[in-house]
Amino acid sequence: MKYRSAFDIIGPVMIGPSSSHTAGAARIGRVARTLFEKQPKRVVISLYGSFASTYKGHGTDLALVAGLLDFDTFDERIRNSLQIAEKAGMEVFFQTEEAVPEHPNTVKINMFDDNENEMEVIGISIGGGTIEITEINSFKLKLSGDPAILVIHRDRFGIISSVTSVLSTYEINIGHMEVARKEKGEMAIMVIEVDQKIEDKVIDELRSLSNVSRVIRMVE
């Protein structure tokens, strides 16, 4: 395995007893909030496997909600995240699932805003605080939480070339990229992990491209 830093081995700076069940859970929640682009009004959190068995003992419930409140893994407020969410007007519902997941530390987060617009995010905690987002609204993908952009677009000829041309113009190097679609010619999503920070002007230019409906910037 290739490690990027010592923290990949010893684990992250964190509040809580477990890098996978607490720190990883907080990161999944925070990435989910970033994808939703605002604090949800209502959240339904479905826990699978080991998460379902131990979530209260390991503080997974506190960590997931803390992430949804945009708290980092070392934020002292994680301990009181449920009460803070209630005061902030965010309703949170937990449920455990008996289905056997592909990974033991799996969570599905369904987020709703004031108008009942919904986004579903499925994530896994791999260990040491490392996570992957494996589905967004039934689009299967792989998102690690590293600096990245998500481009939601119509599945049309040339759109991938248009997006990568913009990144090339600003000398942004792509570390990993994948494209997912449900049906030919319908909505699709690009996940592009990059090596440096993406400035607002780049995001604005990507949003202006024909057939692009949303661009979401992921920042750890």
Summarize pLDDT for 140-198 with one digit per residue, the tens. Answer: 888 876 778 999 999 999 999 999 999 999 999 998 898 988 889 899 999 999 988 88
CATH of the domain at 65: 3.30.1330.90
Domain, as residue range, for 66: 7-143
Report the number of distinct structural domains present in the chain: 2
Q: How many CB atoms lie within 10 A of CB 193?
A: 18
> How many residues are present in the chain?
220
At residue 108, the pLDDT reads: 98
The angle subtended at Cα 34 by Cα 28 and Cα 40, nearest 5°, is 90
99-124: per-residue pLDDT in tens?
888 888 999 999 999 999 999 999 99
With tokens 């319908």, the residue in question is 186
Whether residue 168 sits in one domain with residue 79:
no
Does the pTM exceed 0.95? Answer: no
At residue 14, the pLDDT reads: 60
How far is Cα 132 from Cα 111, in angstroms, rounded to an integer? Answer: 18
At residue 106, the pLDDT reads: 95
Whether residue 198 sits in one domain with residue 92:
no
